[in-house]
Amino acid sequence: MTTASDYSEKIPNNVELREDRRLQRALESWQPNFLNWWESMGPTLPTQDVYLRTAINVGREGWAHFGHVAMKDYRWGIFLAERDPGRQIGFGAHKGEPAWQKVPGEYRADLQRLIVIQGDTEPASVEQQRNLGATAPSLYDLRNLFQVNVEEGRHLWAMVYLLHAYFGREGREEAEELLHRNSGSLESPRILGAFNEETPDWLSFYMFTYFTDRDGKYQLGTLKESAFDPLSRTCEFMLKEEAHHMMVGTTGVDRVVERTAQVMVENDTDDVAALGAIPLPVIQKYLNFHYSVSLDLFGGETSTNVANYFTAGLKGRWLEGRRQDDHQLTSDSIMVDALDDAGDGQPSIGQLEVSALVGLNTDLRREYIADCQGGVNRWNKILAGAGLPHRVKLPHIAFNRRVGAFAGIEASPDGELLSADEWAARQGEWLPTDVDKTYVRSLMRPVHERGKIAAWIAPPRNGINGKPFDYDYVHLA
């Protein structure tokens, strides 16, 4: 049922945009606004061209094309995964009914909200990362940064397509708003907290693409289950691109840890700051920060909104099809993290049994946490392989939380409850301090020469698309 992508069009697409003149015109009038946004809020480093992957189709084979392109001429297109004509709703009250090709009136507002929240994160990360090009540790890394940026731009297109095609005038207005809100803006910030934090250095970038893009993977995974078929198909294709973003994060942190371990071993010291590498305790602090703000993105431990989204069929669970239950959850329960108050006014960290529907945020966050542990295991393997006894770890779920059950308390990375004073006195042991950030930033000097790499990071094991590390991935202006 897939249609060949039309690449000769102004907006490459596989949704037969040509057949719907109104929609085509609406999107063509949004396009210059998008390009203005890209010019003013996108990457600041001037380049001639970049070796980029461009999505051109959705099939298993050959869905992407690689080549040097000027970024402003990148072909941001609209691609939905192939339609399964027999697809049925997999969960909730409508389980077993045919998937929706149109938006049911009763769910219109909720679906629009879910799409806007997802859409808002896509350009936000481009804004957060816009100055990183100036300090890239290699041309390979620079190219990866720009690849992530153009694809987040395409993800914005993916959400804007849905808003334009299915949500009428309100959808078009929301599409405009997606370009007007800006990361960190005081008047009109991005919707979610983590997307208003700056990404000031490359260690932050790798941590962001590891932990925060991974949140994106889980959110897209729940929307891929949606009864609203165009949303499902859109997210399925976005997940394909998202895998590369997380590879950038995973291998980026790998390489920082590898280089640090190497300098530690060669000099028989933990104090690698004097030697131009990033000390392990600083890496741990960056990890603590990005992990905890990403946990907040999953929302409160309990949520009646999310229960309603599930029952309505708007948003499912991670890998819904593989769950061994009735996919309706009306009589199931789940233990969620909670603050206990033993009656003496002293809270403690405990668990609370709630209905499974209300605890769906917890279910998703746990899937995410288990996935994050995979990275920690990799990084510890690198340390062990270097013969070092040091290890990194994920901090406790209550650490540095601003959303949910633990928003009102402070806890150490080991889960020990702290008074506000203790937290104030000790948080610099666990979160990056100004001194740490200044040090990391002092290392961020550009290495824009072919085949060269900054001293604080190891080179990658593999290049991109079979090219070597010393390939001319980027031509600077």
| Of residues 109-128, those binding Fe ion (CB under 5 A) | 122
* Site mask for Fe ion (CB under 5 A), range 282-311, x = bound: ------------------------------
The window from 70-78, 242-250, 323-331, 354-362 that contacts Fe ion (CB under 5 A) reads 242-250
In angstroms, give the least distance from the CB of 358 to Fe ion. 28
Residues 456 and 276 sit within 8 Å (Cβ to Cβ): yes
Judge residue 377's burial from the number of C-beta atoms within 10 Å of its C-beta, 0-12 exposed, 13-18 middle, 19 or more buried. Answer: exposed
Q: By C-beta, is 80 or 263 nearer to Fe ion? A: 80
Q: By C-beta, is 143 or 396 nearer to Fe ion? A: 143
Helix axes 139-166, 168-180, angle to 10 degrees: 150
| Of residues 130-189, those binding Fe ion (CB under 5 A) | 152, 155
In angstroms, give the least distance from the CB of 235 to Fe ion. 10
Count the residues of the shown chain that bind Fe ion, applying the rule CB under 5 A. 6
> 123: part of which helix (H) or strand (E)?
helix 108-128
In angstroms, give the least distance from the CB of 419 to Fe ion. 38
The window from 86-94, 160-168, 181-189, 238-246 that contacts Fe ion (CB under 5 A) reads 238-246
| Of residues 455-474, those binding Fe ion (CB under 5 A) | none
In angstroms, give the least distance from the CB of 274 to Fe ion. 35
Q: Buried b vs exposed e over 292-325: b needs ≥16 C-beta within 10 Å?
A: bbbbbbbbbbbbeebbbbbbbbbbbbbebeeeee
- Bridge partners, 13 (sequence order): 6, 78
In angstroms, give the least distance from the CB of 217 to Fe ion. 8
In angstroms, give the least distance from the CB of 130 to Fe ion. 15
* Site mask for Fe ion (CB under 5 A), range 245-274, x = bound: x-----------------------------
Q: By C-beta, is 245 or 315 nearer to Fe ion? A: 245
Q: By C-beta, is 127 or 337 nearer to Fe ion? A: 127
| Of residues 218-237, those binding Fe ion (CB under 5 A) | none
Residue 167 DSSP symbol: S
In angstroms, give the least distance from the CB of 206 to Fe ion. 13
- Retrieve residue 5's tokens: 């992508």
In angstroms, give the least distance from the CB of 242 to Fe ion. 5
The window from 6-14, 213-221, 290-298, 410-418 that contacts Fe ion (CB under 5 A) reads 213-221
Judge residue 376's burial from the number of C-beta atoms within 10 Å of its C-beta, 0-12 exposed, 13-18 middle, 19 or more buried. Answer: middle
| Of residues 71-90, those binding Fe ion (CB under 5 A) | none
Q: By C-beta, is 152 or 225 nearer to Fe ion? A: 152
Judge residue 82's burial from the number of C-beta atoms within 10 Å of its C-beta, 0-12 exposed, 13-18 middle, 19 or more buried. Answer: middle
151: Cα within 13 Å, side-chain hemisphere: 24
Task: Work out the number of other CB atoms within 10 angstroms of the CB of residue 412.
Answer: 19
**C-alpha span between 342 and 364 (Å, rounded):** 28
Tell me how far apart the terminal alpha carbons of the chain are, to the nearest angstrom: 43
Q: By C-beta, is 155 or 327 nearer to Fe ion? A: 155
Q: By C-beta, is 230 or 459 nearer to Fe ion? A: 230
**C-alpha span between 48 and 139 (Å, rounded):** 13
- Determine if 315 is a binding residue for Fe ion (CB under 5 A): no
Q: By C-beta, is 249 or 459 nearer to Fe ion? A: 249
- Determine if 213 is a binding residue for Fe ion (CB under 5 A): yes
**DSSP E strand stretches across 58-97:** 64-69
In angstroms, give the least distance from the CB of 178 to Fe ion. 13
In angstroms, give the least distance from the CB of 213 to Fe ion. 4
In angstroms, give the least distance from the CB of 352 to Fe ion. 33
Residues 317 and 222 sit within 8 Å (Cβ to Cβ): yes
Q: By C-beta, is 213 or 337 nearer to Fe ion? A: 213
Q: What is the 3-state secondary structure (H, E, C) of 1-31?
A: CCCCCECCCCCCECCCHHHCHHHHHHHHHHH
Q: By C-beta, is 5 or 212 nearer to Fe ion? A: 212
Q: By C-beta, is 248 or 263 nearer to Fe ion? A: 248
Residues 11 and 31 sit within 8 Å (Cβ to Cβ): yes
- Determine if 214 is a binding residue for Fe ion (CB under 5 A): no
Task: Work out the number of other CB atoms within 10 angstroms of the CB of residue 418.
Answer: 17
**C-alpha span between 70 and 399 (Å, rounded):** 43
**At which residue do the structure tokens 């079979």 appear?**
466
For Fe ion, the binding residues (CB under 5 A) are: 122, 152, 155, 213, 242, 245
